[in-house]
Amino acid sequence: MTQPKIAVDLILKKLTESTEQVKSRAQKASEVLLSPLKTDLATTPYEVVLEIDRVRLKYYRPEKIKHKIPLLVVYALINRETMLDLQPGRSVVQTFLDHGIEVYMIDWGYPTRKDRFVTIDDHVNIYMDDCIDFIRNQHGLPKINLMGICMGGAFSVMYSSLHPEKIKNLVTTVTPTNFDTDTGLLHVWMKNTCALNMGDAYGNMPGDLMNLGFLLLNPARLMIDKYIGFFEHMDNKAFVENFVRMEKWIFDSPDVPAATFRQFIEDCYKKNLLIQSRMELGGRRVALEKITMPLLNIYGKYDHLVPPEACELLTRHVGSKDKEDICLNTGHIGIYVSSKCQELFAPKIAGWLKEREKKKTAEKKASAKKTTDRKTGGKAAPAKVVSEKKAGAKAATGKKKVASAKKTATRKSATEKTKTRSAAAKK
Question: By the 8 A CB rule, do 137 and 102 touch?
Answer: no
With CA atoms as reference, report the closest residue to 337 among 324, 348, 327, 346.
Answer: 346
What pairing do the DSSP bridges indicate for beta strands 47-52 and 55-60?
antiparallel
Q: Residue 117: phi, psi to the nearest 5?
A: -100, 5
- Tell me how far the alpha carbon of residue 6 is from its chain's centroid: 65
Which whole-number Å values give the CA distances from 228 to 35, 133, 223, 244, 338, in the listed order? Answer: 21, 48, 9, 14, 20
Which whole-number Å values give the CA distances from 398 to 392, 393, 395, 404, 410, in the listed order? Answer: 10, 9, 5, 10, 18
Which of 131, 150, 268, 311 is the catalytic position?
A: 150
Which whole-number Å values give the CA distances from 117 to 113, 190, 200, in the listed order? Answer: 9, 20, 12
Which whole-number Å values give the CA distances from 343 to 39, 95, 357, in the listed order? Answer: 23, 9, 22
150 counts as catalytic:
yes
The CA distance from 231 to 125, in Å, is: 47
With CA atoms as reference, report the closest residue to 377 among 385, 386, 366.
Answer: 385
Which 8-state DSSP code applies to residue 4?
Answer: P
What pairing do the DSSP bridges indicate for beta strands 167-173 and 295-300?
parallel
Secondary structure (3-state) at 281: strand
Write out the catalytic residue numbers: 150
